[in-house]
Each structure stands twice: as C-alpha cells, then as structure tokens.
Amino acid sequence: MKKNQTDKIRNIGIIAHIDAGKTTVTERILYYTGRSHKIGEVHDGQAVMDWMPDERERGITITSAVTTCEWNNNIIQIIDTPGHVDFTIEVERSLRVLDGAIGVFCAVGGVEPQSETVWRQADRYHVPKIAFINKMDRVGADFFKTVRMIKERLNAHPLILQLPLGTEDAFVGVIDLLSMKSFIWETEEFGKNYRIEDIPEDMLEQALEYREKIIERAAEIDDDIMEAYIGEQEITNEALIAAVRKGTVDLKLVPVLCGSALRNKGIQPMLDAIVQFMPSPFDVPPIEGVIVDSQEIMKCLPHKNKPLAALIFKVAMIEGRKLCYARIYGGEISVGQSVYNPVRNIKEKVARIMLMHANKKERIEKAGPGSIVGLVGLKTSSTGDTLCIETDKLILENIDVYEPVISIAVEPKTVSDQDKLAEVIGKYTAEDPTLKVKTDEDTGQTILSGMGELHLEVIVSRMKREFNLEVNVGKPHVVYRETIGTKHTEAFIFDKEIEGRRRFAEVKIELTPLKRGAGNLFKSKINDEMIPDGFVKAIKESILQSLESGVVLGYPVIDVEAALVGGSYKENISDDLAYKASASIACQKALTKAAPFLLEPIMKVKIFVPDAFMGEVIGDINSKGGKVEAIEANEGTQTIDATVTLSKMFGYSTELRSLTQGRGYFTMLFSHFDKT
C-alpha cells in the first residue's frame, strides 16, 4: 500500500437493504482494483468480506468489514455494512467515521425499508452519497422508477450521470452522460474489459436531454458554469466534474449510476465516480472534540503535525485477541506509542497497527490522518472511546447505541462451562454495545438481551463455533419498560447507627409522569438551608439509580420526572450515605403508589405481500392488535406499514410464509415503548 497521502484517501461505506447487492458490489471492487485475485460470490459462501462462518452460511452480512484498495493512485478504504435491522449498530458506528457512502439499490425493489433507515442514518451524520442502481439485468428492473423513489422516499436530490444501455436480459452496459460515450462490457474475463463506443442513435436524444439536466444543476452550483451556460459557451467535462463533486460534498445532490454487480457490469465507472465525487478527509468539515481541561470545542484538522485525535468505532475479537478499529482524524499513531484514553482516564500502549482486509491483517509501522486501522494492545479501551496524547486531552463525540428489545436465557450444558460462559459473553459484549447481559436474581440464569431474534441466534451460534461452548437457550422474552400513571409525593427519614456512628437524612420527592419518549428528569426545588447543595448530587444519583429497576417486574422506569421538594439536614450526622439510602427508599415507595404499569416495545413493521394475499395478512395484523398505518401498491405486490407489539411478532417469519405460500417477507424495526 502506498504511503499515506490524506488528499488521496476516500473513506466510503457500502450501505443498503438486505439482498440489494452490497457485498457483491464490494467483491467486484476488490477484484477490479487488484486487491483480490478472484471474485468471491455471496451465494457460494466465498465472499471475502463475509468472512464469518455464520455470514457465509446465511448469505448475509452480520458484521461490518473493513478493507483498503487502490484505484487510479487513490486509496479507497471501504466498510461493507450489514443490511439486516438486527445489526443496525454496525451501520451506525461505521457511518460515524466515514466521509462518503455508496447507497446500493435493487432496480426491481427500489428503495426498500432498510435502505431508508441507513440512508437517514447517513443523513444524520451529514455523509455525502452516491446512488448505484444494481441488478439492471433482473426481470422487472426499472431504473427511472428507482430514481423517483430515491427522490420521494429519501427526500434526496438525485442527479442521473448514467443511463442503462438495455434492460433485463438485454442490459449490456451504460451511457456515460459526462463523456457522452457508451460503455459496453465483454461477457468473458469477468467484466475486466469493456468497449467505449458512440451512443446508439436511438438513445442519443434521451442522452442529450439528461446531459442538459446535469449542466443546469451544475450551473446552480458553479457561477462560471452559469455564465457559460447563459452565454451558450462550451462547458468542459472537467468543469462539470468539479461542480458535481462540489454539489455531492455539500449534500446538494446525489450522483446516480447503474449496473449489474453480479454480471460484472458498471463497477469500474463507479470506482471512477468514487475518486471524482467522494470527498477526501480535507473536503469534509473537520470533526469537533471537547478539550478536557477547558471544555472548549476544538476542530480536529486532518494534518500529521497536529495532536493525535482518533476514535475507536468498533471492537472485535479475532482469533481470541482484541482488535480495536480506529479512525484517525488528526496527528499520527505509531507502533509502541503510548496513547491516552480520556473517557476512561487511562494510558494504553499500541503494540501493533494493522491495515485490515476483512479478517486478514497487514502490519504497518504508523498511520496518519484519514486512516482506518486496527490497533492491537489496547486492553481497556472500547467502542466510542477517544485516543489522544496526555498533553492534549480531547474527547470526540461518542457513538449512539440502541437499547435491546428482546432477551433469552442461556445456560451452559455442563456445570464446568459456567465460568467459560461468563468469559465468552464478556468478549461478545465488548464487541457489540447493543448486546446486554445480566443475571436473573430469582433463577440465577444468565439473560442475554439484543436487537432481535436473528441477533441473538447468531451470538449463540458463534459461541459454539468459536469457543466450542454449547448452551441451552430459553424462549425469547420481551424487554419491557415501566412508568407511572399518576403524580405522587413521598418522604422518608433515614436515622440509623451504621459502623458505630449515627447517620441521618430526610428526603421528600415528587414523581410526575411525562409524555412518552421524554426520558427521566431530575429537578431540585429546595433551597440550600433545607439540604446543602453538596448532598443534592448524591440524592440525584440515588434516585436515577432507583429508576433503573421498577416495582412491577423490575424493568427500567422511563418518562418520569423526579423532583426533590423537601427534606432536612442535621449537622455532623447527615452524610452522602444517609441521603442515598433515604432517596432510594422514598423513590421506591413513590413508584409503588404512583400507579405503575408496564410499557411494551412497539415495532414498525413493513410487510411485502403479493396482491392475492393482502386480505389475509391485514386480518392477521389486526388479530395481533396491530395498527395498519399505510398501504402502498406496487406492481403485483402491496407494501403494508403497521405497528405491532414485539410480543406478538415472535415466529412471524413462519406465519407470514404460511399466509402467503412462501412469497411474503417483512422487516421490523423498534419504534417506541408504549402501553398496549
């Protein structure tokens, strides 16, 4: 790999709905850039980027994989992300460190549910995007319908840079509207060779029409092009490319390309587009961090001579060793260097730096701004942590983590494996922030909570494959929340002798229900004479900790305001311990008397069914107490948007197959907690 040149780096992610062809696109990129010497196919279980046995068996991407390749003297660092909603954290943390993204869309299915989800995630992080409309060779492929869906469903501004040359079985290549040439792929040599020809006469008028639209959009972005356009002067390709690049980086437009990755058509022009239109680390706004000592905001510029600023966005256990994936925003990191983690207030040593190619690693001595690398030797650091130097302490923005909604009980099949189970689960929770573990106090069982049935199923499968650990698995259980229905005020006086001295505290709190999604709030409505300010922090900590376990079934309490409205203080015998105990007991008593009740996770469900089965599917949703919110008609199929409680959706895959003779499928995403 060539020496790091930050302006030559393109950090991109491949994002899409499951089965849109993300991994197939990535495999072609690796082949044509010379990173792989043969094309790995997802359906054969040979894809380089889907290296985990579970990924190869299921034909889906489970964990985001990182690789690096070169094209036209540029370094392209790629993260191939999952398409299944159960693994959405993998997309979230990848988008956090990327400078650009390729949205892959199926020319038949168009903008599918998870495409919409990941696109909005990318919007939240202001990631510039290119749209690649894949599977143009498939029956029912419709390029212009997909472009319309991108505009309407994603609220994007697509700019067509290519037109398909033929469609379905007759798809042979693309018309490039910048060079005004046809690119036609050879059927042999795995698509490595293609001919460049003039545009067929029967498509020339359409090509000129869409080139004119490119010029019009470029004129809106670039004043020089506007002058040339008004003056009817010639506009060069170089000027158009620069304007499209500026519009892409500024999130004002989305270049649209097309092809068929499986048939090896359209990938090389997409690589050109990545280099031409995707930003380098210099082109995107610098990431901001908070200086620990002064709490000032600082911009991290992508220069080698700046202080180190790196973000750990993923932790993986590969061959039993901890590997931290990090994006370097400023400064350099070297083998043997001591780095500081201000989030955990610790120093760590970098033993090795790895350039990643899926699960294969290439050692390098140092890495600079814009690099995405694997770091070995960091014992304590985890996902979302910042790495810097101790003299320049800086914390970068953390990564959002989703709360789990489903849980299972797991226990080892042999007593001797009990300690091993705890160790193995510890490794997986270090990898995956959406995987939570706790011990049931009543039964002593280990409870694993995750984002969905598939998520937990994969974890259990990995236990057996990677650690030869077989477990008994209980039925999935819903992870509920609790809240209150009425306002209630409760006081408690703590007055006991502990460890040979008397301790006193009186706390009076008022709990008030809040609207759904408001979260928990704490307010102090007392003056310093009633309880000194120094103890209010201890009271707040105790109350918020008490809300982590409700009184109905012990689930976390949400959407409650806890106000400190009274209490008293006695000099020399009041302390933090007494106030914490008093606040905790008062909170639990108030919860009991404030009409507590359970909240269920409500799921957003999108169901795709052939027309003939729509009535049965809607009837089934109604029987589950679900609410149909919208129905969209497509050619031969219907898309049903509904909300249903998670507890009614267990085993729905089998039910839907039965209702639709195996032709229906659905996607499901957590929406909110509510009373049913």
Q: What tens digit of pLDDT does each residue of 364-393 get?
A: 999 999 998 889 988 888 878 889 998 888
β pairing state of 9-15 and 100-106:
parallel
How many whole angstroms separate alpha carbon 583 and alpha carbon 580?
Answer: 5
Range from 70-74, 118-122, 566-570, 609-613 carrying the lowest mean pLDDT: 118-122
**pLDDT tens across 388-402, in order?**
998 888 888 766 666
The pLDDT of residue 295 is: 83
pLDDT band, very low/low/confident/very high, at 1 (cuts 50, 70, 90): very low
For residues 557 and 483, the answer to whether their CB atoms sit within 8 Å is yes
DSSP string, 494-534: EEEEETTEEEEEEEEEEEEE--TT---EEEE-S-TTTS-HH
Which range scores top for mean pLDDT: 11-15, 152-156, 357-361, 593-597? 593-597
Residue 52 pLDDT exceeds 60: no
**Sign of torsion over alpha carbons 613, 605, 86, 459:** negative
**Mean of per-residue pLDDT scores for the chain:** 84
Q: If we measure between CA atoms, which residue out of 342, 360, 363, 361 comes closest to residue 351?
A: 363
**pLDDT tens across 152-207, in order?**
888 899 999 999 998 888 899 999 999 999 999 876 656 678 899 999 999 999 99
How many whole angstroms separate alpha carbon 478 and alpha carbon 489?
Answer: 31
**Sign of torsion over alpha carbons 379, 450, 122, 29:** positive
Residue 541 pLDDT exceeds 90: yes
Q: Sheet of 162-165: strands edge to edge?
A: 162-165, 173-176, 181-185, 194-197
Q: Which long-range contacts (CB under 8 A, 24 or more apart) does 210-215 make?
A: 210/160, 210/163, 210/177, 211/177, 211/178, 211/180, 213/159, 213/160, 214/159, 214/160, 214/161, 214/177, 214/178, 214/240, 214/244, 215/240
Residue 54 pLDDT exceeds 80: no
The pLDDT of residue 50 is: 41
The pLDDT of residue 46 is: 43
Looking at residues 554-578, what average pLDDT do you find? 91
CA 202 from centre of chain:
44
The pLDDT of residue 409 is: 83
How many whole angstroms separate alpha carbon 41 and alpha carbon 39?
Answer: 6
Residue 635, SS3? coil
The pLDDT of residue 30 is: 85
Range from 183-197, 207-221, 503-517, 594-608 carrying the lowest mean pLDDT: 183-197
Looking at residues 537-552, what average pLDDT do you find? 92
The pLDDT of residue 442 is: 60
**Sign of torsion over alpha carbons 452, 458, 461, 463:** negative
How many whole angstroms separate alpha carbon 614 and alpha carbon 414?
Answer: 48
Q: If we measure between CA atoms, which residue out of 320, 341, 324 comes closest to residue 427?
A: 320
For residues 118 and 81, the answer to whether their CB atoms sit within 8 Å is yes
Residue 654 pLDDT exceeds 80: no
The pLDDT of residue 419 is: 80
How many whole angstroms separate alpha carbon 433 and alpha carbon 400?
Answer: 10
pLDDT band, very low/low/confident/very high, at 38 (cuts 50, 70, 90): low
Residue 249 pLDDT exceeds 50: yes
According to the 3-state scheme, what is the secondary structure of 286-303? CEEEEECCCCCEEEECCC
How many whole angstroms separate alpha carbon 461 and alpha carbon 246?
Answer: 46
Percentage helix, strand, coil for the chain under 3-state DSSP, each rounded to 5 = 30, 35, 35
Determine which helix (DSSP H) or strand (DSSP E) holds 91, and give its type and residue range. helix 88-95
The pLDDT of residue 425 is: 84
For residues 353 and 366, the answer to whether their CB atoms sit within 8 Å is yes
Question: In whole angstroms, how far apart are CA 112 and each of 116, 254, 642?
Answer: 6, 18, 15
Q: At residue 227, what is the residue type?
A: E
The pLDDT of residue 248 is: 95
Looking at residues 12-26, what average pLDDT do you find? 79
The pLDDT of residue 143 is: 95
Backbone torsion region of residue 454, taken as left when φ is above 0, otherwise alpha when ψ lies between -120 and 50, otherwise beta: alpha
β pairing state of 254-258 and 129-134:
parallel
Residue 456 pLDDT exceeds 90: no
Percent of the chain's residues with pLDDT above 90: 39
> Angle at the Cα of 311 (from 310 to 312), degrees rounded to 5?
125
pLDDT band, very low/low/confident/very high, at 657 (cuts 50, 70, 90): confident
CA 598 from centre of chain:
28
Looking at residues 47-75, what average pLDDT do you find? 61
The pLDDT of residue 320 is: 65
Residue 4 pLDDT exceeds 60: no
How many whole angstroms separate alpha carbon 175 and alpha carbon 169?
Answer: 17
Looking at residues 270-283, what average pLDDT do you find? 94
Structure tokens at 316: 């993986």
This prediction's pTM = 0.67
Looking at residues 457-471, what average pLDDT do you find? 82
Q: Which is higher by pLDDT, 577 or 122?
A: 577
The pLDDT of residue 441 is: 64
pLDDT band, very low/low/confident/very high, at 291 (cuts 50, 70, 90): confident
pLDDT band, very low/low/confident/very high, at 478 (cuts 50, 70, 90): confident
**pLDDT tens across 87-122, in order?**
556 666 677 788 999 999 999 888 876 677 778 778
Looking at residues 293-320, what average pLDDT do you find? 83
How many whole angstroms separate alpha carbon 247 and alpha carbon 387?
Answer: 33
How many whole angstroms separate alpha carbon 529 and alpha carbon 627?
Answer: 53
Rounded to a whole number of angstroms, the distance between the first and last alpha carbons of the chain is 57
Q: Which is higher by pLDDT, 64 or 13?
A: 13
